[in-house]
Amino acid sequence: MSTVAYDTVRPLAYQDARVFLLCFRVSDPDSLDNAVNKLSRVSTAEDRSDPVGYHSGLLCEEWYPEIRQHCDNTPVILCGCQSDMRNDIETISSLAKMRRIPVTSEQAVTVSRTVGATTYVETSAKTSGKAVRDAFEVAALAALGKLNKNHAALQRQKAYTHHGGSGGGKSKLDLKAELKDRAKSCCLM
């Protein structure tokens, strides 16, 4: 949560960051807004016709711009967490009562492109621990400047098809050796 007390402290953690994972819950459309927008919503006819409420014209006013203000060239990866909840009956029913739906992969990719994130990944620790490892692998590659457009496209394709698999490039041992000299502490906020 963003509080005034942390507003001056947070940027100190950004100084040495080599990559950001900007996370949201797939089952909570508001969490995507909070990650990239933190908008005070104004209801329009267009909003009422879009059950999730993501339009490419929305202005980003919180987390993403704050990151860009302090680290304008650092890769940002938009990460949809708990992707298994997208098909959870209770989640779907609860959101339907509010005339909303879980965030789709397509919507998240669109938001990712709109804000200029490096790529979009999805995780689900419940159905695939490998997806979580893959997200961190993508983050490591982005931090090293080794995440090319083909790799990013592969990650988006994985999000659409919801299956794992490794996307070429260096082996994990090679990556680990390369990261050893560049290791930094990890700060989760």
CATH number at residue 97: 3.40.50.300
Query: Is 2 part of any domain?
Result: no
Q: Tens digits of per-residue pLDDT, 15-34?
A: 888 999 989 999 999 888 87
Query: Is 148 part of any domain?
Result: yes
Query: Is 98 part of any domain?
Result: yes
The two beta strands, 119-122 and 76-81, are: parallel
Give residue 182's pLDDT. 54
Q: Tens digits of per-residue pLDDT, 125-148?
A: 888 778 888 899 999 999 998 887
Query: Is 19 part of any domain?
Result: yes
Q: Cα separation of 60 and 35, whole Å?
A: 9
pTM exceeds 0.75 for this model: no
Query: Is 184 part of any domain?
Result: no
CA 26 to chain centre: 10
- Residue % of the chain over a pLDDT of 90: 31
Judging by beta carbons within 10 Å of its beta carbon (0-12, 13-18, 19+), is residue 77 exposed, middle or buried?
buried
Looking at the structure of the chain, the number of domains it has is 1
Query: Is 45 part of any domain?
Result: yes
Query: Is 3 part of any domain?
Result: no
Domain that holds residue 39: 9-178
Query: Is 147 part of any domain?
Result: yes
Average model confidence (pLDDT) across the chain: 73
Give residue 57's pLDDT. 33
Question: Pseudo-torsion of CA 38, 117, 129, 126, nearest 10°?
Answer: 30
* pLDDT at 175 > cutoff 50: yes
Q: Cα separation of 124 and 122, whole Å?
A: 7
Judging by beta carbons within 10 Å of its beta carbon (0-12, 13-18, 19+), is residue 141 exposed, middle or buried?
buried
Q: Tens digits of per-residue pLDDT, 162-174?
A: 433 444 455 556 6
